[in-house]
Amino acid sequence: METWVAYDRGTPAGYVELEAQADGVVEIVYFGLLPAFRGRRIGGHLLSYGTARAWDIAERREGLKPTTRVWLHTCSKDGEHALDNYRRRGFALFDTRVEDEPEVPTPGPWAGAHPA
């Protein structure tokens, strides 16, 4: 795993996390910007940089095969410009799925906590 962080004047703006997989495949596991930094062209730069680091990860990590494929997944919770950003950086749509997201109960106080 590698994590690369984008900073704007010393403040973390976003990050990209890479995971080398078998046979030279690298997944961009996480990619995102904090809301205050969206719309400022930081995301495009960060994705370009992260993708380049995915392609040369074997140069920094002993025992990895040279990268043959870089991939990521996206969902409807991503920002409205995410898919366009991925396509502008050379990613192509591979598969589309529609899945229901399970309902997750809102966490409450831990067992034994007194009511507010």
The residues, ordered by sequence, that sit 6+ positions from 58 with a Cβ below 8 Å of its Cβ are 20, 24, 64, 65, 66, 67
Check pLDDT > 80 for residue 115. no
pLDDT digits (tens, 9 = 90+) for 9-40: 999 999 999 999 989 999 999 998 998 998 88
Angle at alpha carbon of residue 49, lines to 23 and 69, rounded to 5°: 20
Fold held by 2-88: Aminopeptidase (3.40.630)
Instruction: Please compute the mean of the pLDDT values over residues 34-50 and round it to a whole number.
Output: 91
Question: Would you tell me how many other CB atoms lie within 10 Å of the CB of residue 11?
Answer: 10
Check pLDDT > 60 for residue 43. yes
Q: What is the SS3 assignment for 79-104?
A: CCCHHHHHHHCCCCCCCCCCCCCCCC
The residue with greater pLDDT, 43 or 81, is: 43
Angle at alpha carbon of residue 62, lines to 68 and 32, rounded to 5°: 60
Instruction: Please compute the mean of the pLDDT values over residues 79-106 and round it to a whole number.
Output: 84
> Where in the chain are the domains?
2-88
Instruction: Please compute the mean of the pLDDT values over residues 52-80 and round it to a whole number.
Output: 90
